Amino acid sequence: MNTASTTGYLDSLLQGQPAASPLTWLNQLRANAVDRVGALTVPTTRDEDWRFTDISPLTKLSFQPAQGAAQIAPADVEQWSIPEASARLVFVDGIYAPEHSFNRAGLTVENLAAGVSAHDAAVRAQLGRHAVFERNAFAALNTAFLHDGALIIVPRDTKLAAPVHLLFIATRKHAASYPRCLVIAEPGSAATVVEDFVALQNEAYFTNAVTEMALAGNAEVHHVRVQRDGAEAFHFANCAVSLAQASRYHSVSVALGARISRHNLNVLLAAEGAECSIDALALIGGQQLADTHTLIDHATPQGTSRQLHKCIVDGAARAVFNGNIMVRAGAQRTDSSQSSRNLLLSGKARVDTKPQLEIFADDVKCAHGATVGQLDVDEVFYLKSRGLSDSAARNLLTYAFGAEVIERIPVASLRKRLEQTVMAQTQAPALGAVRPS
Amino acid sequence: MIYQDSKTLLAVRKLHATVNGIEILKGMDLTVKSGEVHAIMGPNGSGKSTFAKVLAGHPAYEVSGGEVAFEGNNLLELKPEARARAGVFLGFQYPIEIPGVANSQFLRLAYNTVQAERGKDELDPLEFDDFVREKMKLLEMNPDFLDRSVNEGFSGGEKKRNEILQMALLEPKLAILDETDSGLDIDALRIVAGGVNQLANKDNAIVLVTHYQRLLNYIVPDYVHVMESGRIVKTGGKELALELEARGYDWVGAEVKANARVSL
């Protein structure tokens, strides 16, 4: 694959853009993005940020945005239902499906394409300001297609206890979807947002998502991201979060699906006393590749960040983690810790992990570390000494390794569902009902 | 307690074992009959914990010689899980933490695994809950420990109680308790020892591996063995433990050397 053809590839993806908006600034934003797409190329393994992630299989296929929403049965949606949710927005192949959506949250949870006019000023102040696309071809593509997606505005001092469920369902082969989410948490507000990527089919499709979250002073957002795409899917996501004074952002991401997935998460601690916790689990096998790049940017003093990134890799799968923690000059009394822990279940499984700490302040507390390995001999022995077979012991410990992240999901029904998924995937003994093998 | 009609549960003969090529056990002999409580004492590095782990089948230890029979069958050819199912239990000095797995789930899994092996009925979660709560009373354990992850965030005493709880559930014929008293305050020691005493009966046997005599005030042994350099060098009754407490271990070693010279 040469450079010329990769340029052409991005251009080919630009077909089928949305019609012009009545909002001049939005048209301008899209146009700027289209320009950038024209100037950028598909990243290759020669790019430092993509060294371990070869996305050339993507460019061998062509993808088009779906024209018109596919009709899907209520049962196809309800199987993913989160009973606790106060609001749900469903997108089918990237297109908003109002018939499957509801909002009982008592605040703005609506399709971005509609909400952008109703909340012009608020949206304009945030949209495209956090997920910058100057040098990011996928963020630029998403912005060029900016139309459907979620707009969530949590008003000042409003604490929404029940989660908002954003459900993205893939139904069509070779469909490209560009979901865009904007979460605006006003001062002192609180909310839980679940982004959930699922599929009703196993053919190749292309999801290119961008999520922006702006947390004002003292706001708190729990952000759960579940990527359970189809086996042949290509999933690219850019998430950018900005934290104002004493705001708190908690993210739990779980990546289970897709042939190739790439998740960029940038968190900017933009004002004093902001906190974030970023936990993630990638559980992959076969020929899957799951890549996570995070940047936690301590730009101001007294910020706190906690990160736990775990990968369980089986078969010939490959996990990539690049976790950058930046402590800028003046970001004194930063308290940051980062841990990358990886479990390889087969001889062909591979993980490339690169925790990075860049510190330009002198009064900080930072710790990071990475481990890559197999299950601990003493842990396996402990379980076997209680009668469990070797495989039951190993599978249970593998499950437990993943469950440490899953149990941090603050939505009980989703947590339970994912525990069962991880249990099935690790072939852990159905706890308590297992016969010795 | 020593019974007239007891049968031999464990027979260890000239057992040698190595770890990383270094010989730790050097001709260990021990016979344990049903109903008995044995204490194995000795200085650090004498091989006490190695002996416990070898009996349970820890993969880091290689048996380089000798025999171990459990109820007349060769124990050494069994995998660790088969030993557990046959009725050998090791109470760990450092119980493993398993974040993400509820203690109740783990306990029920272990219980049902062993029950199935014994041809007995497994318990569903509700039945097991009632059953395990009864057993927890024995150890004055708060039922909250059922919902927490296995051993995660447990204090030293709580971990040891959880070990004895597993012993109570699995009802082993032979329980080897490795430094069960370490890290326990006096109240926890009393509770843990009380639990062990209630589990002891004429059909099972208990081997206590301990560095200190303190535990033996609560669990009274029928035999006290002193290990040194990988084998048992002296055996006595419970009064031997008191003597060791008063005089330390050095005199035992000196006595052994003196005897060796006499026999030359």
pLDDT, one tens digit per residue, over B171-199 is 999 999 999 998 888 999 999 999 999 99
Domain boundary among A220, A249, A271: A271
Residues A379 and A267 in one domain: no
Q: Is residue A356 part of a domain?
A: no
Tokens of residue A289, six digits: 């590749």
pLDDT higher than 90, residue B257: no
Range of A433's domain? 375-437
Count how many domains chain B has. Answer: 1
Q: Is residue A433 part of a domain?
A: yes
- Cβ contacts of B19 on chain A, cutoff 8 Å: none
Total CB pairs under 8 A between chain A and B: 103
Q: Is residue A341 part of a domain?
A: no
Residues A76 and A213 in one domain: yes
Residue of B nearest to A375 (CA): B98
Q: Using CA of residue A41, residue A43, residue A45, residue A51, what is the dihedral sign? A: positive
Residues A66 and A201 in one domain: yes
Q: What is the pLDDT of residue B100?
A: 80
Residue among B244, B188, B230, B253 nearest B49 (CA)? B230
Q: What is the pLDDT of residue B87?
A: 96
pLDDT higher than 90, residue B212: no
Q: Is residue B152 part of a domain?
A: no
Q: Is residue A335 part of a domain?
A: no
| Partner B contacted by A431 (CB < 8 A) | yes
**Residue A15: CA atoms inside 13 Å, Cβ hemisphere, count?**
9
Q: Is residue B128 part of a domain?
A: no
Least CB–CB distance from A385: residue in B80, B104, B106: B80
pLDDT higher than 80, residue B262: no
DSSP A421: H
Domain boundary among A236, A271, A306: A271
pLDDT higher than 70, residue B241: yes
- Cβ contacts of B99 on chain A, cutoff 8 Å: 400, 403-404
Q: What is the pLDDT of residue B182?
A: 87
| Partner B contacted by A399 (CB < 8 A) | yes
Tokens of residue A268, six digits: 């900017």
Which one-letter amino acid corresponds to residue B127?
E
Q: What is the pLDDT of residue A413?
A: 96
Q: Dump strand ranges (E) for chain B.
A: 8-19, 22-33, 37-41, 61-70, 73-74, 88-91, 98-102, 149-150, 174-178, 205-209, 223-228, 231-236
Contact assignment for B95 to A432 by CB distance below 8 Å: no
Least CB–CB distance from B112: residue in A381, A407, A434: A434
Contact assignment for A433 to B122 by CB distance below 8 Å: yes
Least CB–CB distance from A400: residue in B60, B99, B116: B99
How many angstroms from the chain centroid is the CA of residue B150? 20
Q: Is residue A68 part of a domain?
A: yes
Residues A267 and A383 in one domain: no
Give CA–CA dist B221/B227, Å, rounded. 16
pLDDT bucket at B153, cuts 50 / 70 / 90: very high
User: What CATH number is associated with residue B208?
Assistant: 3.40.50.300
Check: CB of residue B224 under 8 Å from CB of residue B238. Answer: yes
Q: Is residue A15 part of a domain?
A: yes
Its pTM stands at: 0.87
Q: Is residue B225 part of a domain?
A: yes
Low-confidence ranges of chain A (pLDDT < 50): 1-4, 432-437
- Cβ contacts of B170 on chain A, cutoff 8 Å: 386-387
Q: What is the pLDDT of residue A4?
A: 44
Phi-psi region of B196 (alpha: psi -120 to 50; beta: other; left: phi over 0): alpha
pLDDT higher than 50, residue B250: yes
pLDDT, one tens digit per residue, over B15-71 is 999 999 999 999 999 999 999 999 999 998 999 999 999 999 999 999 999 999 999
Residues A396 and A257 in one domain: no
Count how many domains chain A has. Answer: 2
Residue of B nearest to A405 (CA): B100
Range of B252's domain? 8-96+172-263
> For helices A390-406 and B103-117, what crossing angle results, to 10°?
170
> How close is the nearest chain B Cα to the Cα of A250, in Å?
19
Residues A393 and A264 in one domain: no
